[in-house]
Copies of this chain bind each other. A is one copy, B any other.
Amino acid sequence: MQYAQLLSLEEVEQVHDASLELLESFGILVHNENALGIFKRHGCQVDPETHIVKISRRIVENFRQAFPPTFTFRGRDPQFDKTIPDDGPVFVTASSAPDIVDPLSGELRRATSVDIANIAFLINELPGYDIFSISTLADDAPDGQFSLARFYPALKNCLKPVRGNTPDIKDLVRVLELGAIIAGGPEAYQERPLITHHCCAAVSPLTLDIHSTEAILYLTKRGLPCYATVAPNAGMTAPMSLMGTLVLGNTEFLAVAVLMQMVKPQSSNIYAVLSTVADMRNGNYAPGAMETGILQMAHSQMAEFYNVPAGGYIGLTGAHGNDAQSGYESGMSMTAAMLGRTHMLNSGGLMSNLMAFDFAKAVIDSEMALMIKRIGRGLEFSQEGMALDVIAEAGHGGSYLQLAHTIENMRTAAIIPTIATRELRGIWEKNGRYDANARALDQASRILMRDNPAVLSPQVEARIRERFKDLVPGDAKWVGY
């Protein structure tokens, strides 16, 4: 496929050049002491008072030539491993919403570890998803187990790669311990790290924080999979122009990417963004806007220029229910991202601007993910596919319905959707006028009423409980709707 490009190569080079200029002349504010030291040791100009780090063009250019071109996500079951770009586009849930739409009442409430277990099981079963990024927080987390109460139900109920983040190194170390027990020991985990960490190390504008940057340093040093997401918001934390926001986000990506190479050469990375434009009527966050898709396309071009896999929080919506807005905001940005050469799309399951998980939305997004992947397969050109003999067989004005060629290909030529209705209106009315939300919630319920065959073995379970007392049960438990 030839991907769509909104910028010419010359314009891409000018964006790169602007980022080099910013890093060299204006620099980046670094709150993390270890990162300051690393930048200094690699010849950057570090101001001990202001903590502003200036990285010369030469340093950036040296490191960025060596960015590895691939990134691998590993799951509990290796059959679900994904390496981008080759296995892309991969589809991921969006993460860390505080709230969930209760499937029974339809009302918003805090999410719990039981919700995470249910969601993990659902994502394991839905064919559109490749990676489970832990969708919500766990309000029932015991003291000191903020992250364990999220990662444990996630890993317990899902064989696909799990992704998440932690607020600090203490939590990160515990989560890695948990991962190691599940993998069968620290060496086995090092061999097949079944958790991927994404960290908001860069805080717009042009700042590296303390804790997420520390996580990036910790994981990179050990060769464990991680990357940073940059998320400039035009009008609030970035210039009120798409070009300015692109330059700012690109600069922030480069700062972290170079830091990672300084820590450990050949560290895999993803160019991951959530560049948005604020709605200036009220200052509200608006990641469902078309501009998010446009910025994603542009960042993906920068990723291609750097020969790094391109990812994004793309397909988000500001809608508060599964209405038309939810469908078109998610669908349009996903399609733009796919055709703009994005290899990883994170958005599944969340609505209300990333604030709430919704089971029906997760199911609907899986269907959209299959549609996005169908675009990726394209026309599947072949001489045989042109079917000139079949056209001759059907004849002028004839029917293809009964032809052998039709019967042979009817299951594979097109996606068979499970959410989109294809019923005639009269039949749909007679069947109860269910909309996509109702059909999706029904599908989620039918999946979650099954037993989950993916749970951990009793031995592993016992080892985990021995190490982490008071851990949440972590089991999927569906109350219906």
Contact = CB atoms under 8 A, between A and B. Distances in A.
A258 to B, nearest CB: 17
Interface in A356-384: 356, 361, 364, 368, 371-372, 374-375, 378-383
A116 interface: no
A164 interface: no
A184 interface: no
Interface in A315-363: 318-332, 334-336, 339-340, 352, 355-356, 361
Q: Give the one of A27, A286, A328, A417 with max B CB within 10 A.
A: A328
A203 interface: yes
Contact of A242 (B392, B413, B422): B413
Given A235-B406, A294-B379, A375-B294, A386 B18 contact: yes
A291 B332 contact: no
A34 interface: no
A108 to B, nearest CB: 7
Contact of A205 (B336, B396, B424): B396
A277 B413 contact: yes
A293 B330 CA distance: 16
A144 B287 CA distance: 53
Contacts of A247: 386-388, 391
A414 B379 contact: no
B242 A385 contact: yes
Nearest to A330: B328
Interface string A192-206: 000000000001011
Contacts of A403: 240
Interface residues of A, number: 130
B1 A243 contact: no
Given A293-B375, A320-B433, 6 more contacts: A4-B339, A8-B381, A11-B381, A240-B400, A280-B414, A331-B332
Interface of A: 1-8, 11, 14-15, 18, 21-22, 26-29, 52, 108, 203, 205-207, 234-244, 246-248, 277, 279-284, 286, 288-291, 293-294, 298, 318-332, 334-336, 339-340, 352, 355-356, 361, 364, 368, 371-372, 374-375, 378-383, 385-388, 390-392, 394-401, 403, 405-406, 408-411, 413-417, 419-425, 428-429, 433, 435-437, 440
17 contacts: A11-B381, A22-B388, A22-B391, A240-B409, A241-B405, A247-B387, A291-B374, A294-B378, A319-B420, A321-B433, A321-B435, A323-B323, A323-B327, A324-B364, A324-B440, A328-B371, A355-B425
